[in-house]
């Protein structure tokens, strides 16, 4: 896909659609179960900007800011928003079921606690 995504003959909006279709689908495989740390968040943002810079043929030595790259691509940062949205949908799916996963997620266990000081 590199030749298509870096081609000057293909429109930028078409490149973005291809990026989301082919690259993001592979990148975000099972992202519903990820625990996103601050380091991983910055790496995902850097990856998204790297994709856009490669598509627009902007070198790192050109001293173009990330905001300028986003304006040239006529888009915004969406990768983390997509991940959070998928995670929220997955938790909703788990909560609708009354199985072991939902019990573990809510922490509700049937029965009574023993009297007195807990061990």
**Cα(91)–Cα(105) distance, integer angstroms:** 9
What's the helix, strand, coil split of the chain in %, to 5? 65, 0, 35
Q: What are the tokens at 45?
A: 């943002």
Domain segments of the chain: what residues?
2-106
Residue pLDDT, tens place only, 38-86: 999 999 999 999 999 999 999 989 999 999 999 999 999 999 999 999 9
- Does the pTM surpass 0.85? The reply is no
pLDDT of residue 37: 95
Residues 48/77, Cβ–Cβ less than 8 Å: yes
Q: How many CB atoms within 10 Å of residue 85?
A: 11
| pLDDT score, position 43 | 96
Q: Above 90 in pLDDT, residue 105?
A: no
């Amino acid at each position: 896909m590199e030749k298509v995504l870096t081609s000057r003959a293909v429109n930028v909006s078409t490149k973005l659609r291809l990026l989301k279709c082919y690259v993001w689908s592979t990148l975000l495989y099972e992202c519903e179960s990820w625990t996103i740390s601050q380091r991983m968040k910055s790496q995902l943002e850097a990856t998204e900007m790297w994709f856009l810079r490669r598509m627009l043929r902007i070198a790192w030595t050109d001293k173009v800011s990330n905001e300028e790259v986003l304006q040239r691509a006529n888009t915004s940062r969406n990768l983390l928003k997509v991940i959070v949205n998928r995670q929220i949908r997955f938790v909703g799916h788990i909560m609708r079921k009354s199985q072991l996963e939902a019990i573990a997620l809510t922490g509700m266990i049937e029965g009574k606690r023993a009297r007195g000081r807990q061990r």
